[in-house]
Structure 1
Amino acid sequence: MKHPFVALSLAAALTSPAIAQDASKPPVAAKKPHEIKAPFGATRQDDYYWLRDDTRKNPDMLAYIKAENDYADTILAPTKKLQDTIYNEVIGRIKQDDSSVPYLKNGYYYYTRFDTGADYPVAARRKGSMDAPEEVLLDQPKLAAGKGFFQTASRTVSPDNTLLAWAEDTVGRRQYVLKVKNIATGELLADTVPNVEANLVWGDDNRTIFYIEKDPITLLSKRVKAHVLGTPASADRLVYEEKDDSFYMGLGRTSDDAYVCITLQSTVSNEQRCAGAKAPTDFAVLAPRERDVRYDADHIDGRWIVRTDWKAPNYRLMTVADAKANGTRAVWADLVPVDPAVFIEGFKPFHGFLAIEERSGGNKRLRMLANAGKSSFVNSDEPAYAMAIDVNEETDTPWLRYTYNSLTTPTTTYEVNATTGERRVLKVQPVPGYDATRYVTERVWVPARDGTKVPVSLVYKKGFKKDGTAAMLQYGYGSYGASMDPGFSIQTVSLLDRGMVYALAHIRGGQEMGRKWYDDGHLMNKKNSFTDFIDVTRYLVAHKYAAKGRVAALGGSAGGLLMGAVANMAPGDYRAIVAQVPFVDVVTTMLDASIPLTTNEYDEWGNPAKKPAYDYMLSYSPYDQVKAQAYPALFVGTGLWDSQVQYYEPAKWVAKLRATATSTYPLVFRTNMEAGHGGKSGRFQRYRDSAEYNAFMLTQLGVTP
């Protein structure tokens, strides 16, 4: 079912004169000059600003979007058979009646399971043993029936195990609705709260649910409130309100369940406020926010464990006993001192030991530190891999559960005993028809133009020859300090089996090589992300991993910004580029504080209200830097209801490219009318979407079956 606004507006668009369009020809968007002025006086003309419609109801805008979708259908029609082939290959690698590894919490084993053919899982639990009768928490296939988009998040059970609270989104805009049910009877309670974050926490009284209310326009997390079951949402108690729009908010309970905590996070600062879970009313500040100081804390055994970059760029772990915690950092003591060669990314406390996620040499490894001081690592035999702490709800155990995968190894869930070192395999992701021994992964270090060595993870089929003839897909992200670990993908196999190379470029802007790796790839260093990506491409072509005319690039969201930038800066290095939900209108968006997420991002991109930042951001903004040159084939995707990168950014970019680019390669713009930032919901639909752009890419690269 379409969102009602879309259905009504599309009907109007179909009768609009603006829809007069031959679907065999590229749509032409009207130019309507619009001046955008910066606070310090600089002005720009934006001919396609009119494509922005926050209501998603403007007939002319919808007519243009429809014309682009119709044109995409025409251009992609010859690839339909290949799309179907790729889609069938990918879903053939999915065990359709699969289930997650159960985890124990408060006497129950929790898990999700898929039925064959189902797009959504059933969330369930069993008391005390997996042999006990199943209790269904959420029958998501039933709940999703008839909905164009459906997503649940933050499923959380009350401390007495009787009630389930969850957040539900049926639009794709991440404006969730809080819902509650009685687990035993299945009765849906009358309690609902709209426009909340997917972040819910129960109080110990089994009647109070803490949630985060969003601003309806900017979608920023603004207020923490407490809802008491049986009372109207209008009576919900205000717990905390954040006045600084550069901060995101989160909610959680500490590992020992002793505290409910409000976490506040900006790009450059953190603050944590916690209250005893038995009566969470007075939320005390663990340490006050301070610019350029970040921290996060957990609690166990009467002490706080804190991960912080305070006087430690690559982070350290510190601790403070309850009796000494007084709201300042001065009383914190080192637990794991800073190591310039190791970046501490996360941790999980247990009663007898501490599990630590560390980055070294571009890979993330796990270390277990016993309370007595003994340290041990979980090792890998592969040169590039992804290792992470998994769900560990029980803290009174010597067993650490973690996941491991690589570009060739499907996700494997292990548990390791911190005392004996014994390791057990709990589950290997089933991938029907896949044989890991047929593929090879390697790590290369590429010298960037400024001499920095950039790690690149590669995978290809065994027997591959570096003779400079292969096609290659290169992926990158490089923003927000998000590290792109080399993980297994059932979609990539279809490319490898066709003789392609897949390259994951760990460019600056992530944190694969520590905090400096991020600092050197954002704000006034942002262009390093783009030049790193280009230099990786040129190195791999020069070293015969790929043919010069057979390279494709892929990125989404901030990675879509990367795609737009490299398309402008080095169009001749790529035969095809796929940009999903791309952030391409950097300056206009960052000048408008009403757009969701803008105010949170000033310390990531810069604030163009100030001239130095304005000039630098303008110099790489993909939309602003479109020029009359030959661009590679482009596939651009977006969702009409995207809350992270608004649909009109890629729409404007495509319109300008159509009016300016000189190449004859195809430009395809696909708007999903029932999706947000993550695309369509459901287990299989996303593979339909990726099959479409992969078929487009393979066709452009001349890759044969």
Structure 2
Amino acid sequence: MTNPDSAAQLSAPTSHASPAPGAAGSPALAPVAKQVPVERIHHGERFVDNYEWLREKESPEVVAHLNAEQAYTDIVTAGQEQLRQDIFNEIKNRTQETDLSVPSRKDDWWYYARMVEGQAYGIQCRVAASSDGTLADWTPPLVEDGVDVPGEVIILDGNREAQGQQFFSLGGAAVTRDGNLYAYAVDNAGDELFTVKIKDLRTGELLPDTIENVFYGLTFSPDATTLYYMVADDSWRPYQVKTHVLGTPVESDEVLYQEDDVAMWTGFELSADRRHLMVSIGCSEFSETRLLEFAAPQKGLQVLIPRSSGILYDAEPFLLSGVEKILLTHNRDAVNSMISLVDAAEFTQPVAEQNWATVVPHSDSVRINGSTVTATHMIVSLRKDTIERIQVTALESLGTANQSPAVEPVFDEELYTAAMGGTEFNSPVIRLVYTSDFTPPRVYDYVLPVDQADGELLLRKETPVLGGYRAQDYVATREWAKAADGTLVPLSVLHRADLVRDGSNAGVIYGYGSYEVSMDPGFSVPQLSLLDRGVVFVVAHVRGGGEMGRRWYEDGKKLNKKNTFGDFVAATDWLAQSGWVDPARIAAMGGSAGGLLMGAVANLAPEKYAAIVAQVPFVDALTTILDPELPLSALEWEEWGNPITDAQVYKYMKEYTPYENVRAVAYPKIAAVTSFNDTRVLYVEPAKWVQELRSVSTGTEPIVLKIEMDGGHGGASGRYEGWKTRAWDYAFLADALGASTLL
């Protein structure tokens, strides 16, 4: 892929040209990277990439260029500094900085996290639980916001762990059932590869067992002798489940499972009743589950439905009236998925000969997201009318003609999100997290219904919002845009209640549209700073996401991907014609795969946007997916298609990949935001894109690269740095839209 003679083609060192307006009107010189032509030929198509050399991360010249980009960005956006500080202060002043989560029960302890004013990271804590087994025993204890909580045990203080580190992030944790040992994973680079440490909670001392370069996923065996963990390969694909026996050399750790198919993702979790380790292997179109029974480890991993069956499914093993059952959420003859109950013994037979009892039938209007069980109930996560919901059904007659009806907690808003917040298998309650665009997150315990009664919602906490916030000061409505093919695209439209619909306001439209990820209603403190400046904020639920079911996703992937971009442009047109905004005052924002969306619409309709913020943008998608050695590339084939082997996919992707379709038009103000250590979307993609945009654009608006040299896919670490990042993005947009002043 890379020309081996490229070193001989090096042109002059990085220079500076391309004047752009600075903070005080004086010109700032944008960095101009040298051009080193690298030829790529696939399926008879030739493409010359002039900036591929920027991929050389260890090169001092590359690092110097990136630092020059950040220096240029600082100059160009210097005039936004006060606005950034204002937005940061607004976020800070609305946030109760000393706060704690609602305790969650696990075995004999209540676990919770708390934050302290002035500290950037959470403190993981626990207090002892009683054990009388009554409903009252599952009521979270009242713990104080202050530092001195009666009976509190500090498990891990993230602030102490982060001392002396430029980056700090936790990637998972596990505690033994006896509550004595705590394993946790730490990332100090931002590359999402972790160091696992194990603490003896009785003494506070670390065990000598330290495991390097671990991926997400940790759990202990029931007897606390073994730690299970994940390892990623050189392309950042999780492919090995390994076992570490405590007290033995890490070098002797054994591989429990290894997945050699480069297009398959591997992970594991415990079954709800914690009797099995469940290893899941899959892609977006089919999967395979293997179970390890802790009571009989000598049997090894047992395959349920082999991937060769082509079924996408999740499995939950449990005992029902003493019989081993498997609860399957699957897409067998069910595009939106359904739920079946199967005797575990059936899996010794071919799939076509197995007896699957329907528990939740397929529906064209309801998307089944997943299911799990407690000792008494099945819990189902589903999506209906774009909204994520929870339903519960008693286990007693599950899968029979006398199955109990499903019961759903009822909430009083039209647009909201209700999601599982975790629970213990034997608990009489499940934890729910509820939010909407203007309702701060609420934590409920839902008392599971008995004898056909309705369940009871017990509010445990609503996240406080300071500074005089009132939900009634804002409005969220559902609107619909019409795409070019006639498809109606749902929009969430947010604005202040007192905003006048006179066609003069500013608007920001946000989108994602990939991997069946839904942009669900959710409260955002930073977003209030835009709304309070008179901005109409629109979330475009474009195809490729999951808001309207599985078909909505499939209509925005592979050879249907252009629908995602067209839907976003249609949403922009709706906003421009809505009477809410001045069409000349619309900006767009999206991140990661949503950053690809930003790059695509910038090429399709640059005249429709005054500014674009592309966060960690996947803008050089074709180059990335053509190289299976790059992080996650092979895993992407199920989302975008495989351009290596399929000429039609190659041609289709080449028609929309942002980097390869930059053209001689007047681009709006653009900010590409990235991090040097991002392993999901490499910094080189936005770095190349920015260079190509500057070299081709016929306009005069600045195009900048904001790069966090010590961050990962989520930017810099710590809550205050996160607030600064969001303030930077929003200040860039508000400044471009002339919306810097509070109403």
**TM-score for both structures, normalised by structure 1:** 0.95
Q: Which residue of 2 aligns with 1:416?
A: 446
SS at match of 1:25: strand
Cα distance between partner residues in 1 of 2:580 and 2:394: 44
8 Å Cα contact 1:638-1:677 kept in structure 2? yes
In 2, the alpha carbon distance for the partners of 1:17 and 1:416 equals 64
Q: Which residue in the other structure is 2:651 paired with?
A: 615
CA displacement 1:548-602 (0-9 Å, x = unmatched): 0111111000000000000000111111100010001111111111100000010
**2:35 paired residue number:** 31
Residue number in structure 2 paired with 1:355: 379
User: Does the aligned pair in 1 maintain the 2:314–2:370 contact within 8 Å?
Assistant: no
- 1:8-47 to 2 correspondences below 5 Å: 18=14, 24-38=28-42, 40-47=43-50
Question: Does 2:513 correspond to 1:504?
Answer: no
| Correspondence 1:226-305 to 2 at 5 A | 226-281=243-298, 282-290=300-308, 292-301=310-319, 302-305=324-327
Distance 1:49 1:687 in 2: 33
Provide the C-alpha distance between the structure 2 equivalents of 1:543 and 1:141, rounded to a whole number of angstroms: 47
TM-superposed CA distance for 1:192, in Å, is 1.4
State the alpha-carbon separation in 2 of the partners of residues 340 and 18 from structure 1: 56
Structure 1 residue matching 2:62: 3-state secondary structure: helix
Q: Deviations over 1:640-674 (max 9, x none)?
A: 00100011000000010110111111212111000
Q: How many residues align?
A: 685
In the alignment, which residue of structure 2 is the partner of 1:700? 736
CA contact (8 A) 2:171 2:186 kept: yes
CA distances 1:79-136 after superposition (whole Å, capped 9, x unpaired): 1111100000011111111111110011110111111111101111111164761111
Which amino acid letter does the alignment assign opposite residue 430 of structure 2?
L
Q: Please say if residues 286 and 328 of structure 1, whose CA atoms lie closer than 8 Å, have aligned partners that are also in contact.
A: no
Amino acid across the alignment from 2:415: A
Q: Please state whether the residue corresponding to 1:619 is helix, strand or coil.
A: helix
Deviations, residues 604-632 of structure 1 (Å, cap 9, x unaligned): 01111121001000000000000010111
Q: CA deviation at 1:37?
A: 2.4
TM superposition shift of 1:292:
4.4
Name stretches of at least 5 consecutive residues in structure 2 with no aligned partner: 1-11, 20-26, 131-140, 144-149, 398-403
Give CA deviations for 1:375-394 in whole Å, capped at 9, x if unaligned: 222233323211111111x1
What is residue 527 of structure 2 aligned with on the other side? 492
**Is the contact between residue 481 and residue 510 of structure 1 (CA under 8 Å) also seen in structure 2?**
yes
2:419 to 378, 388, 406: 388
Counterparts of residues 50-199 of structure 1 (less than 5 Å): 50-53=53-56, 56-128=57-129, 130=141, 133-199=151-217
AA in 1 matched with 2:181: L
Q: CA contact under 8 A between 1:51 and 1:648: conserved in structure 2?
A: yes
- Of 332, 349, 367, 1:343 maps to 367
Whole-Å Cα distance in 2 between the matches of residues 608 and 599 of structure 1? 11
Instruction: Give the corresponding residue for 1:431.
Output: 465
Cross-structure match for 1:310: 332
> What residue identity is the alignment partner of 1:701?
L
Aligned pairs (5 A) from 1:407-556:
407-419=437-449, 420-433=454-467, 434-556=469-591
Deviation at residue 418 of structure 1 after TM alignment: 2.6
User: Among the aligned pairs, what percent are the same residue?
Assistant: 38
**CA–CA distance in 2 between the matches of 1:348 and 1:547?**
48
Does the aligned pair in 2 maintain the 1:33–1:46 contact within 8 Å?
yes
Give 1:289 shift: 0.8
Residue aligning to 1:9: none
Paired amino acid for 1:427: K
**Among 686, 693, 718, the residue aligned to 1:650:** 686
CA contact (8 A) 1:306 1:318 kept: yes
| Contact 1:486 1:504 (C-alpha < 8 Å) held by counterparts | no
1:348 Cα deviation (Å)? 2.7
What's the offset of the Cα at 1:291?
6.3
Residues in 1 aligned to 2:666 and 2:13: alpha-carbon distance in whole angstroms: 32
Question: In structure 2, what is the equivalent of residue 5 of structure 1?
Answer: none
2:100 counterpart SS class: coil
SS at match of 1:335: strand
Distance 2:623 2:740 in 1: 42
Aligned mates of 1:137, 1:327 — CA distance in 2: 47
Contact 2:280 2:288 survives alignment (8 Å): yes
The CA RMSD over aligned residues, in Å, is 1.6
Structure 1: 5+ residue stretches without partners: 1-15
Is the CA contact (8 Å cut-off) linking 1:36 and 1:44 kept in structure 2? yes
Equivalents in 2 of 1:322, 1:594: separation in Å? 39
CA drift of 1:465 comes to 2.4
Of 220, 227, 231, the residue aligned with 1:209 is 227
Aligned AA (2:74): D
Instruction: Quote the Cα distance in structure 2 between the aligned partners of 1:134 and 1:538.
Output: 55
Corresponding residue SS for 2:32 = coil
1:376 corresponds, among 398, 407, 417, to 407
Alignment-mate amino acid for residue 70 of structure 2: N
Q: CA offset at residue 29 of structure 1?
A: 1.1
| Alignment partners' CA distance in 1, 2:602 and 2:357 | 49
Rounded Cα–Cα distance in structure 1 between residues aligned with 2:658 and 2:309 = 30
Cα gap change, 1:306 to 1:162, in 2 (>3 Å): same
Matched letter for residue 412 of structure 1: R
SS state at 1:516 partner:
helix
Q: CA deviation at 1:448?
A: 1.3
CA contact 2:382–2:389 (8 Å) conserved in 1: yes
The question of whether the paired residues in 2 share the 8 Å contact of 1:111 and 1:123 is answered with yes
Q: Secondary structure at the match of 1:290?
A: helix
Structure 1 stretch displaced more, 635-644 or 294-303? 294-303
CA 1:167–1:327: 2 relative to 1, 3 Å: farther
Task: Specify which of 601, 604, 615 is matched with residue 569 of structure 1.
Answer: 604
Return the alpha-carbon distance in structure 1 between the equivalents of residues 100 and 653 of structure 2: 46
For 1:496 and 1:297, the matched residues in 2 are separated by 43
Q: Which amino acid aligns with 1:429?
A: T
C-alpha offsets along residues 283-335 of structure 1, whole Å, 9 cap, x if unaligned? 10111113642001112223211100111000001112334443654233211
Aligned 8 A contact 1:203 1:280 in 2: no
Shift in Å, 1:499? 1.1
Is the contact between residue 14 and residue 33 of structure 2 (CA under 8 Å) also seen in structure 1? no
Matched residue SS, 1:684: helix
- 2:390 and 2:239 map into 1 onto residues whose CA distance is 35
Distance of 1:385 and 1:348 partners within structure 2: 22
Per-residue Cα deviation, 1:241-290 (whole angstroms, up to 9, x for no partner): 11101111111110001101111121211111111123535010111113
Q: Is residue 721 of structure 2 the alignment partner of residue 685 of structure 1?
A: yes
Q: Is contact 2:170–2:185 with CA below 8 Å preserved after alignment?
A: yes
For 1:592-611, list aligned pairs within 5 A.
592-609=627-644, 610-611=646-647
Give the secondary structure class of the aligned counterpart of 1:378: coil
Is the partner of 2:393 in helix, strand or coil? strand
Q: Partners in 2 of 1:59 and 1:352 — Cα distance? A: 61
Deviation at 1:473, TM superposition (A): 1.0
SS at match of 2:179: coil
The amino acid across from 2:289 in the alignment is Q
- Measured in 1, the distance between the counterparts of 2:567 and 2:369 equals 23
Farther off after superposition, 281-290 or 322-331: 322-331
The two structures have a TM-score, normalised by structure 2, of 0.90
State which drifts further: 271-280 or 302-311.
Answer: 271-280
- Work out the CA distance in 2 between the residues paired with 1:511 and 1:18: 44
